[in-house]
């Protein structure tokens, strides 16, 4: 019979690096190397809310849990380190599924994290539940020597930049929700974006190292909503030109099929985990240089304005958009 202790041994086996952790799994607490980590984030995925087992494999869910946390560390301009995993599992536990989850977490760490950082298992807790599976990940990280990049710090005149297209994950979700109404084979890029989002982990670390952004956040709840958080923290307004947002051909095709609005996905879709940053104009040439060197997709969305201008979003026709929803908020609709 598989017990919680066997599962803990599996985690220890898969993430064997003790990087940054003096005492890992197997004591009452993990003991960290002194002074190593100064960033902490925690994200929870709930079956039926954040994922469905018929839409994502166990590996996909593990990937997404790790990606969401890696993205938070990247949004501080830092690099990731030790993680702590809590699983509430419907019993008896599906060991193959848990193994898949762990494998997906490791794949995300190996694929997304630059060599200068190492993701290691610090500990966690495994319990049973009568309800849906709940995955909670706490990830520690290291800010850059230049200090963490916060949400506050944007000033009027700064450019607003997002590193990569948004709305893909939400469009992928629309494909899955549409069932037989669409041919999933036509939307492989959107499905991949939903199942295996690729946060800008390397870019976040480099931007932090150069102290380039005046403020930064990751787009987890939707571009406009997360921009709103950044503006509120910085106490500024903004003007966003939505015609700068790239619309992927698969998103356009989905809109043709009446499955939703491509522009809405780009503006309000969550879970793309793109970095959204503000950059003083004088530093924009450096950003373009880095984008060229590292093959980043840099989208210049608009400008930080004075707080009394609020957040103005202009549509494809140059007219101000009325936003019905800014993005995803738990409980709001209930």
Residues 205-224 that bind its own copies (CB under 8 A): 216-218
Q: Do 292 and 188 form a contact (C-beta atoms < 8 A)? A: no
Q: Any contact of residue 3 with its own copies (CB under 8 A)?
A: yes
Q: Any contact of residue 9 with its own copies (CB under 8 A)?
A: no
Q: Any contact of residue 136 with its own copies (CB under 8 A)?
A: yes
Least spacing, CB of residue 184 vs its own copies, in Å? 25
Left if phi > 0, otherwise alpha if psi is -120 to 50, otherwise beta: which for 327? left
**How many C-beta atoms lie closer than 10 Å to residue 171's C-beta?**
31
In the range 32-61, which residues lie near its own copies by CB under 8 A? 32-35, 37-46, 48-50
Place of tokens 């193959």: 96
Among 25, 70, 76, 231, binds its own copies (CB under 8 A): 76
Query: Both tokens of residue 157?
Result: 């005149």
In terms of CB distance, is 185 or 330 closer to its own copies?
A: 330
Cα(79)–Cα(115) distance, integer angstroms = 10
For its own copies, which stretch binds (CB under 8 A), given 20-28, 166-174, 261-269, 307-315? 20-28
Q: Any contact of residue 295 with its own copies (CB under 8 A)?
A: no
In terms of CB distance, is 88 or 175 closer to its own copies?
A: 88
Least spacing, CB of residue 105 vs its own copies, in Å? 15
For its own copies, which stretch binds (CB under 8 A), given 77-85, 166-174, 184-192, 250-258? 77-85
Burial of 62 from C-beta contacts in 10 A (0-12 / 13-18 / 19+): buried
For its own copies, which stretch binds (CB under 8 A), given 83-91, 235-243, 297-305, 310-318? 83-91
Q: Any contact of residue 145 with its own copies (CB under 8 A)?
A: no
Find the largest Cα–Cα distance for the chain.
Answer: 63
Q: Are strands 39-46 and 134-142 parallel, antiparallel or unpaired?
A: antiparallel
Cα(65)–Cα(299) distance, integer angstroms = 26
């Amino acid at each position: 019979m598989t017990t919680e202790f066997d599962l803990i041994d599996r985690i220890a086996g898969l993430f064997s690096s003790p990087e940054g952790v003096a005492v890992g799994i197997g004591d009452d607490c993990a003991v960290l190397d002194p002074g190593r980590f100064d960033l902490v984030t925690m994200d929870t995925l709930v079956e039926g809310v954040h994922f469905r087992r018929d839409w994502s494999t166990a590996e996909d869910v593990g990937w997404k849990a790790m990606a969401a946390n890696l993205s938070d560390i990247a949004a501080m301009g830092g690099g990731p380190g030790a993680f702590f995993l809590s699983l509430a599992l419907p019993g008896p536990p599906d060991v193959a599924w848990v193994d898949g989850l762990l494998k997906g977490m490791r794949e995300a760490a190996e694929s997304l994290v630059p060599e200068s950082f190492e993701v290691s298992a610090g500990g966690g807790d495994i319990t049973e539940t009568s309800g849906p599976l709940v995955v909670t990940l706490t990830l520690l990280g290291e800010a850059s020597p230049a200090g963490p990049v916060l949400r506050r710090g944007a000033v009027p005149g700064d450019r607003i930049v997002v590193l990569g297209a948004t709305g893909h994950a939400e469009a992928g979700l629309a494909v899955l929700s549409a069932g037989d109404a669409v041919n999933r084979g036509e939307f492989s890029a959107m499905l991949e974006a939903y199942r295996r989002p690729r946060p800008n982990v390397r870019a976040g670390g480099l931007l932090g190292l150069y102290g380039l952004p005046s403020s930064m956040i990751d787009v987890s709840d939707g571009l406009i909503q997360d921009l709103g958080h950044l503006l509120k923290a910085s106490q500024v307004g903004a003007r966003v030109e939505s015609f700068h947002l790239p619309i992927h051909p698969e998103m356009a095709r989905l809109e043709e099929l009446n499955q939703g609005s491509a522009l809405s996905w780009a503006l309000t879709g969550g879970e793309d985990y793109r970095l959204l940053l503000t950059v003083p104009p004088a530093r924009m040439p450096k950003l373009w240089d880095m984008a060229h060197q590292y093959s980043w997709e840099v989208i210049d969305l608009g400008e930080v304005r004075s707080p009394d201008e609020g957040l103005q979003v202009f549509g494809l026709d140059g007219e101000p958009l009325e936003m019905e929803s800014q993005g995803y908020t738990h409980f709001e609709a209930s």
